[in-house]
Amino acid sequence: MRADTPIPSEHQDRLIHTLYGWYALTREQSDLGPFDTAERASRALSRHIKVYRGINPRTPGTPQRMHLHDADQCTRTNCGLCVEARILRHSLMLAAS
């Protein structure tokens, strides 16, 4: 992480790196990405949060989607976690063959 491009600490656990690039996880239907750098993903996430603040308030009791992601059940349109899960599954298949 370069010092001249700070990423807010609250973004750290919402940015994931995949083979295809960086994704920013959102609470809306679609994640953001892929981006070629974490900084770009972070900036996109900042803009996204500004737009959605007030429209889609954080609901207490909503399950954390950061844990136990089931790609087969997922209905999101652009899901960074599914991308990550697919890559992981693919690389496990390659390792097993």
Contact call for residue 79 and Zn ion (CB under 5 A): yes
Quick one: tokens of 97?
Answer: 């063959």
CB of 72 to Zn ion, least distance (A): 9
Shortest CB 1 distance to Zn ion, Å: 26
Q: Which residues inside 57-76 make contact with Zn ion, applying CB under 5 A?
A: 74, 76
Query: For residues 54 and 62, what is the distance between their CA atoms, to the nearest angstrom?
Result: 17
Round to whole Å and give the CA distance between 18 and 24: 11
Q: What is the dihedral of CA 87, 45, 54, 51, to 10 degrees?
A: -120
In the bound state with Zn ion, the residue whose beta carbon lies nearer, of 44 and 82, is 82
Nearer to Zn ion, 32 or 79 (CB): 79
Binding residues for Zn ion, total number by CB under 5 A: 5
**Cα–Cα dist 15/93, whole Å:** 25
Q: Residues interacting with Zn ion, by CB under 5 A?
A: 74, 76, 79, 81-82
